[in-house]
């Protein structure tokens, strides 16, 4: 269950990061609301997952999911150029995230 919560929290990290970028310095209401709600839920989920998943692994996976999804969203919406190199690097990042999950012993 901790891994599912961590993955959802990583998705929420991408949500709040994107909303922050769209909030124009927290001056637009709805992107700012989405930012604060997403941030709170994402942090709560990360903290909850870290009860069972080691801190380093949980944080790396959380950041990796959030960063990957934020870049993918930016490419889909046209905010960032799509390139084979960018896609290859994202795939490498996802591979590292999966690898960390596979080797994590959790708390001992």
Number of independent structural domains in the chain: 1
Task: Please check whether residue 16 is in contact with residue 39, taking contact to mean a CB–CB distance below 8 angstroms.
Answer: yes
Q: Is 32 part of any domain?
A: yes
In a domain, 83, yes or no: yes
Q: Tell me the pLDDT of the chain (108 aa) as tens digits.
A: 999 999 999 999 999 999 999 999 999 999 999 999 999 999 999 999 999 999 999 999 999 999 999 999 999 999 999 999 999 999 999 999 999 888 887 665
* 20 in any annotated domain: yes
Using CA of residue 31, residue 34, residue 38, residue 40, what is the dihedral sign?
positive
Both tokens of 65, joined, read: 């999911």
pLDDT at 107: 63
Report CA Rg, the chain.
15
The answer as to whether 37 is a domain residue is yes
108 in any annotated domain: no
How many angstroms separate the CA atoms of 1 and 30, rounded? Answer: 31
CA distance 66 to 47: 15
Give the per-residue pLDDT at 53: 94
What residue numbers bound the domain in which 48 lies? 2-103
Per-residue pLDDT, 101: 86
Residue 60: the pLDDT is 94
Backbone angles phi, psi at 101, to 5 degrees: -65, -40
pLDDT at 104: 82
Residue 69 maps to a domain? yes
**Cα gap 6→61, rounded to integer Å:** 8
Tokens of 72: 């993918």
């Amino acid at each position: 269950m901790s891994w599912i919560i961590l993955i959802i929290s990583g998705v929420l990290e991408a949500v709040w990061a994107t909303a922050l970028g769209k909030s124009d310095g927290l001056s637009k209401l709805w992107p700012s609301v989405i930012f604060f709600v997403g941030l709170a839920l994402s942090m709560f989920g990360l903290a909850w997952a870290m009860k069972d998943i080691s801190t380093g692994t949980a944080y790396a996976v959380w950041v990796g999911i959030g960063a990957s999804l934020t870049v993918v969203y930016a490419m889909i919406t046209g905010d960032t150029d799509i390139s084979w190199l960018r896609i290859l690097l994202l795939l490498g990042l996802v591979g590292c995230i999966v690898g960390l999950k596979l080797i994590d012993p959790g708390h001992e």
